[in-house]
Chain A
Amino acid sequence: MTPAFHRHLPRLVSFNGQERQIVRHDPARRDFLRLVGVAVPASMVLCACGGRDTGAHGQANAFFAPEEMDFIRAATGRLIPKDALGPGADEAGVPEFLDLQLAGPYGRAERWYMKGPWPRGSNSQGYQLRYTPAQIYRQAIAGIDKHCQAHYRQPFAKLKADQQDEVLHALEDGNVKLGDLHSKTFLDLLWQNTQEGFLADPAYGGNRDFAGWKLIGFPGPRYNYVREIGQYGKPYQQPFVSLIGRAPTAAMAHAAGAA
């Protein structure tokens, strides 16, 4: 109906990079796919297509292999840990968010200028690697697990929390060899994407049950503060809301079920 929604949906890419058209038979399902399609159509499609790997939580991954997902859960869980202030990245669905992002156009660097040659530049010249974000994750996770095996005889996910923090700090300091990839480049990217997953609209699969927004007090996409803007110092009263409503998790479960 509205062109905008068609534009959100047209092509999705499965794990192996083949493009698939969404199958649209059931109108109810289509509505939900559209609804969620603002953000996370890939999960529905992959569910609909049978998926590929089954991760620890029994869900199909779009991008990560199971052992990669183990790393992501552990690493993001240290970057934003669960504590008295509330859920951490893992509980908030950040790994699922990352999985979908890396399977999609962002993971493919679809809008980036990716023509060679590829000389090294100065910091002020910005990103000059020939890798897409998806390729960076794949290469870096393998390299980090290799590093952990060498130093701790365990993959990253199996390390104790303080050991994991130690590795993350080593990455941040550029002290882990990841081939031609600087380990700080990966840590910065992972941290950036982890924050995105924790703070983006729950429609993208992260920020589950508004974990990120509840932590900080952001009420979500609301369009009208005419009455409230002059009420200085007062808490905003309306409940949290997402682009797909006040119960985004339920909406997405419903959509997945309909799919």
Chain B
Amino acid sequence: MARRMPPVDVVLVGFGWTASIIAQELTDAGVQVLALERGAWRDTVPDFATDHIQDELRYAVRKQIFESPERETLTFRNDASQTALPMRHLGSFLPAAGVGGAGVHWNGQCWRFLPQDFVIRTHTEQRYGKGFIPEGMNLQDWGVTYEELEPHYDRFEYLCGVSGQAGNVGGQLVAGGNPFEGARQRGYPLPPLERSASTVLFDKAAREVGFKPFPCPAANASRPYRNPLGVQMGQCTYCGYCEWFGCGNYSKASPQTTILPVLLQKDNFHFKTHCAVTRVNTDHTGKRATGVTYVDVEGNEIEQPAQMVVLCAFAQHNVHLLLVSKIGQPYDPVSNTGVVGRNYAYQITSSAEVFQKERLNPFMGAGALGQAIDEFNGDNFDHGPQGFIGGGYVALWNTGGRPILQHYLPENAPKWGAGWKKAMHENYLTACSVVTHGSVMSYRSSYLDLDPTWRDVYGNPLLRLTFDFQPNELKMSGFLTDKAAQIGRAIPGATVHEKKRQGPYSIVPYQTTHNTGGAVMGNDPKTSVVNRYLQSWDVPNLWVMGACAFPQNAGYNPTGTVGALTFWSAAAMKRYLKNPGPLVTA
């Protein structure tokens, strides 16, 4: 029998970016908020301190900064005809455990999606006709527009101290920025990061080809920064250990470096670590959440009653909780009905590795230090002749030069032996990689449900992922990779190794941790789990944050949009608190 804790107003499942934002906003509104985090407490000092954080083996290779599959993982298959098998160790994507969530180990690549991304179905049909959308693609609008989200993007960027160059302020194009971005109300809070040798090469080459490169928006502070909450960040020193590491000098935005110093002082905020939520509880009607059940560090099952429940875990963990809690109708790919688990999507990446002679010192870098072009993202170009939907940016990121995982060798270099050694010697300091970061649309055949065989350490069935790259995405990615190679070849003296992404999708090599969908937002309860404010259609006092709300994935890193959606949802929650009930009538 689960022990019962005293009730709270709001319980948050997880304590990463979205929970920190929601907690900050709702405690300001005067309610009592409790966050339950399955991982450990972590802070800059001592956990990410400069004396030990630059440890590639420990954090990036042995993956000690991420969640441990030993406790919970998922099973995976490419299509429904296969038996899904457990992901036994991490590979393709790297969710977090611990306070701060993936906000601790991200790179800080903090983008806005394009205005058309939010209305992609309407836009595509208008420009290319209904017949342009392939059979089986569940393309749908978000239910929220870029214009509605713009103030919330702005808040997130100013919270994080994003360094960048605006390209479109209030409809006026600004030289040096991304000319394709949606109109923003003002520039970034900080100027762009310094450029590294390799991003300078990319910039020159891209210009030569005729593109308009710009500095990528970086939640790595180019200057010391004090955010609107009064929290002080340090300046980035280009140590090259952002992604897969915590930041040791307070210069990468994370919940710890932007919100927690203020949030943790509040009387009406509490959090507990090592508490894994295993279920969202509902009353006998199934229409009202009564709280959550969690397992504490000693294995005790504990019930936490709450007036309102907000799922703030990683995208697929939120979906998993909905499924094991039997909230909402699970998706059935055969009949194409049901919503929970529907529209899982990902991103498709590829690269063109560049071998040239100039010394680049790749180890001087930052997680979001990069130059990009956006000519081929979203619908910034005519898709008619291409015959695919979607796009992505082409960029050169100089995230670092960590020797085990961040080195590039020519195509013909021996895999091992003296030839490998020679290739390492000759290329480490001079090679670089132009990458593509492409959208993935949602399909009937890509979804999440519960696995019939394997269970997690808490006894719940594992989540089952059924996903593969579809011809539309492989075609699009191939197109982008050619553009990347074109830029690479414009670098003087360059030999380019074009590495197109091939199907099938594999869970083994790291690609991105940009898993989306499964609890998508929208205006129709038949095709979405939450309404446009991220409020559950079925259980109005349950809200679901994060990238699981994306109806399909766009061609940018998702954190900026996750942050904006969270602020947008928090504003709606404040209205809800005054007058609880569904904010949208189905």
Contacts and interface: CB of A to CB of B under 8 A. Distances in A.
The reply to whether A and B meet directly (CB within 8 Å) is yes
Interface of A: 2-5, 8, 38-39, 78-81, 83, 85, 88, 105-106, 109-115, 117, 119, 121-128, 165, 168, 172, 191, 194-196, 199-201, 204, 212-213, 215-219, 221-226, 228-230, 232-236, 243
Contacts of B387: none
A125 B88 CA distance: 9
B89 A113 contact: yes
B57 A232 contact: no
A126 B508 contact: yes
Contacts of B54: 221-223, 243
A216 B424 contact: yes
Given A4-B46, A196-B57, A222-B54, 15 more contacts: A88-B421, A113-B89, A122-B82, A123-B506, A124-B76, A124-B505, A125-B82, A168-B416, A215-B424, A216-B403, A221-B55, A224-B238, A225-B239, A229-B238, A232-B200
A123 B507 CA distance: 9
- Give the one of A78, A125, A199, A217 with max B CB within 10 A: A125
Given A85-B421, A111-B89, A126-B88, A218 B359 contact: no
B47 interface: yes
21 contacts: A2-B45, A3-B46, A111-B68, A113-B70, A121-B83, A122-B82, A122-B504, A126-B76, A126-B507, A127-B89, A128-B85, A191-B415, A199-B403, A215-B424, A215-B425, A216-B407, A225-B239, A229-B361, A232-B197, A232-B358, A235-B359
A243 B55 contact: yes
Interface SS majority for chain A: loop
A195 B422 CA distance: 14
B364 A225 contact: yes
Contact of A85 (B77, B237, B422): B422
Nearest to B47: A4
B543 interface: no
A217 B58 CA distance: 21
Contacts of B453: 117
Contacts of A127: 88-89, 508
Interface in B121-168: none
Contacts of A114: 70, 88
Contacts of B83: 119, 121
Nearest to A235: B359
What are the 6 A-B residue pairs with the smallest beta carbon separation, nearest first? Answer: A221-B54, A4-B46, A216-B428, A225-B364, A124-B506, A200-B57
A232 B197 CA distance: 5
Interface string B30-72: 0000000000000001110111101111100111100011100
Contact of A216 (B46, B194, B429): B429
B417 interface: yes
Given A112-B88, A216-B429, A196 B61 contact: yes
Contacts of B68: 111
B542 to A, nearest CB: 29
B5 interface: no
A126 B87 contact: yes
B195 interface: yes
Contacts of B49: 2, 4
Given A236-B361, A243-B55, A224 B62 contact: no
A30 to B, nearest CB: 17
A198 B401 CA distance: 15
Contacts of A8: 52
A213 B404 CA distance: 10
B249 interface: yes
B248 A223 contact: yes
- Give the one of A165, A196, A199 with max B CB within 10 A: A199
B106 interface: no
Contacts of B421: 80-81, 83, 85, 88, 215
A2 B46 contact: yes
Given A79-B416, A79-B417, A128-B88, A112 B69 contact: yes
Given A196-B61, A218-B403, A243-B51, A113 B85 contact: no
Nearest to B89: A112
A126 B418 contact: no
B197 to A, nearest CB: 4
Given A219-B363, A221-B55, A125 B428 contact: no
B57 A119 contact: no
B552 to A, nearest CB: 22
B430 to A, nearest CB: 9
A117 B425 CA distance: 44
A218 B76 contact: no
A18 B43 CA distance: 32
B69 A226 contact: no
B349 interface: no
Interface string B340-367: 0000000000000000001101011000
- Give the one of B77, B238, B429 with max A CB within 10 A: B238
A50 to B, nearest CB: 28
B399 interface: no
Nearest to B49: A4
Contacts of A225: 237-240, 361, 363-364
A212 B196 contact: no
A83 to B, nearest CB: 5
Nearest to A222: B239
Contact of B404 (A88, A165, A195, A223): A195
Contacts of A217: 428-429
- Give the one of B49, B73, B507 with max A CB within 10 A: B507
Nearest to B51: A243
A122 B454 contact: no
B46 A233 contact: no
Contact of B76 (A78, A125, A201): A125
Interface in B210-256: 235, 237-241, 248-249
